[in-house]
Amino acid sequence: MRGLTKLKMPVVLMGLSLSALTVQAAPYPERPIRLVVSSAPGGAADLIARPIAMQMEKQFGYTIVVDNRAGANGIIGTDIVAKAVPDGYTFLVNTVAVTINPSVYRKLPYDTERDLLPVTNLALGSGYILIVHPSVPANSVQELIALARQKDSRFGYGTPGFGNGQHLAGELFNLRAGVQLLHVPYKGAAPAMTALLGGEIQIGFIPPIVSSQHIKAGKVRPLGFTGTARLPALPEVPTIAEAGVPGFKFVGNWDGWFAPAHTPPAIIAHIYSAIRQTLQVPKIRDAIVAAGYDPVADTPAEFGQFVRAEIRKYAEIARAAKIQPE
């Protein structure tokens, strides 16, 4: 029996080795990939993520299911991915909000740096458009400031939630312009835009990809751009600094792709390569540029450094703006 046992052990080990090799050689992906988007349909992250996912399906034969999980400034969708099995079948597209939340929420259900693995920055935005409902009797930033400084003024501006880039842009405007616009949080940029179109709120700092069509249709009026230079798609709209708030700039919007921590490096490299190739497709690049963004596709290591730097940057901004954590 002892001799038989000795003979069997190598055979068993060989079987295990062959099984391991078979698992390692299994094709990826073997089933649909779930892409959780932390904003409502029609929001900036959604409008960036969907064309990229569709092109990846077409180009590489994947099946990617876009799952919109809006709410709580992206925390709901982020939490889903942070707690997902790290097997390469669940990913997240989130905005700059993911790096702001650690500074504006007292307790998150996950640790941003520990539980998420940055894959790449899909696109970097150049700023937000300051727009107003047609009922607001202001045709310039200065006229809006004058109205907002009146004693009975009750202007509200909508954002995708407490502590996102649009919220910080609005609070920075309050600080620099000496006004008190009321922050009204919604479950995404698209719901905030809908509220503005309906006159529920009067003002928005909205990504160009969400607001441009409504500006062109005359449904809202653009007064300024938060970036450092005018938006090429709307060259007639001045920057807010040009329009009378010297030194004002807010360039914060970006859309990044993340995985749960401990996702295998080979899968991260595979997905990153596919995204990078997708962003080189002319129609995808052109659509992103037209929306006021620049395609990025930095490496996972580079994006990881960027995310860590953003977390520290927005901690400083939140302190300067005296935003009390919720």
Question: Could you report the per-residue pLDDT of 270-291, keeping only the tens digit for each?
Answer: 999 999 999 999 999 998 988 8
238 within domain boundaries:
no
Q: Which of 210, 225, 240 is the last residue of a domain?
A: 225
Length of the chain in terms of residues written: 326
Confidence of residue 13 (pLDDT cuts 50, 70, 90): very low
Domain match, 119 and 135 both: no
Domain match, 83 and 70 both: yes
Domain match, 215 and 283 both: no
Domain match, 55 and 75 both: yes
86 within domain boundaries:
yes
Give the CA radius of gyration of the chain.
Answer: 23
Question: Could you report the per-residue pLDDT of 103-130, keeping only the tens digit for each?
Answer: 999 999 999 999 999 999 999 998 999 9
CATH code of the domain containing 101: 3.40.190.150
Domain interval for residue 99 = 33-125+252-320
199 within domain boundaries:
yes
What is the per-residue pLDDT for 25?
A: 52
CATH code of the domain containing 133: 3.40.190.10
Q: Does the pLDDT of residue 8 top 80, yes or no?
A: no
Q: How far is CA 278 from CA 96, 101, 192, 208, in A?
A: 22, 29, 30, 22
Q: How many CB atoms lie within 10 A of CB 218?
A: 8
Encoded amino acid at 207, one letter = P
14 within domain boundaries:
no
Q: What is the mean pLDDT of residues 290-312?
A: 94
149 within domain boundaries:
yes
What is the rounded distance in angstroms from the CA atom of residue 190 to the CA atom of residue 195?
A: 9
Domain match, 186 and 45 both: no
Domain match, 180 and 209 both: yes
State the pTM of this model. 0.81
What is the per-residue pLDDT for 142?
A: 97
Q: How far apart are the first and last CA of the chain?
A: 69
Which has the closest alpha carbon to 130: 194, 207, 40? Answer: 207
What is the rounded distance in angstroms from the CA atom of residue 128 to the CA atom of residue 172?
A: 13
Q: Domain count of the chain?
A: 2
Structure tokens at 88: 């390469």
Confidence of residue 21 (pLDDT cuts 50, 70, 90): very low
Q: What is the mean pLDDT of residues 166-191?
A: 91
- Sheet with 129-132: strands ordered across: 182-185, 156-159, 203-206, 129-132, 221-225
105 within domain boundaries:
yes
164 within domain boundaries:
yes
Q: Please name the residues in contact with 74: beta carbons below 8 A apart, sequence gap of 6 or more.
A: 38, 39, 94, 95, 97, 98, 101, 160, 161, 164
What is the rounded distance in angstroms from the CA atom of residue 170 to the CA atom of residue 209?
A: 18
What is the per-residue pLDDT for 164?
A: 84
